[in-house]
Amino acid sequence: MRYDLNLLPIFVALMEERSVTRAAERLGMTQPALSNALSRLRLMLQDQLFVRERYGIQPTPIALELSPLIAEALAQLDDAVLGQQAFDPAQAERLFTIAPNGYVEFVLVPALVARLEKVAPGIRGLLPDGAKSYAKG
């Protein structure tokens, strides 16, 4: 069977929020989109998972049983993926394209560049049009 792993953070948010609306807000989704995802989650896990009550939703016994397993699985995935993406600015040698508006370019970028020179000497910045470089000399 194929599993949609994108549904698992939705399950966790619903368990923690006990509200479809609050879970949707937390995940940056619309309530109808989260309801649709919950329908797919119910099909995938073959259980109702949450029962609507007067002030939100309550998990079914199966949801309560699955909750710690799913939370732990997601934590392990986060550790595995994020561990591979470790970023040490002091060791980084990258070129970033900076796309500020006029105010940010003149007020904030110089301070950002000054800070980067201290903590990330290998990082350089470039405006998208290439006209001005914030590379360090």
- Sequence-distant (6+) residues with CB within 8 A of 97 are 125, 126, 127, 128
Would you give the end-to-end CA distance of the chain in angstroms?
Answer: 56
pTM above 0.85, yes or no: no
How far apart CA 83 and CA 37 sit, in angstroms, is: 28
In this prediction, residue 127 carries a pLDDT of 60
Q: Which residues, in sequence order, are CB contacts of 19 under 8 Å at separation 6+?
A: 56, 57
Range scoring the smallest mean pLDDT among 1-15, 32-46, 121-135: 121-135
Q: How many CB atoms sit inside 10 A of residue 72's CB?
A: 10
Q: What is the pLDDT of residue 93?
A: 82
Q: What pLDDT is recorded for position 137?
A: 43
| pLDDT of residue 49 exceeding 90 | yes
Q: What is the pLDDT of residue 132?
A: 53
pLDDT of residue 78: 85
Tens of pLDDT, residues 55-66: 899 999 999 999
pLDDT tens track for 95-115: 877 777 777 777 887 888 788
The domains located in the chain, with CATH, are: 5-84 (1.10.10.10), 87-137 (no CATH)
Between residues 82 and 38, which one has the greater pLDDT? 38
Residue 116's alpha-carbon distances to 7, 66, 89, 133, in angstroms, are: 38, 45, 8, 14
The tokens for 10 are 């939705």
**Above 70 in pLDDT, residue 26?**
yes
Helix (H) or strand (E) holding 41: helix 31-45
Considering the chain, what percentage of its residues have pLDDT values greater than 90?
50
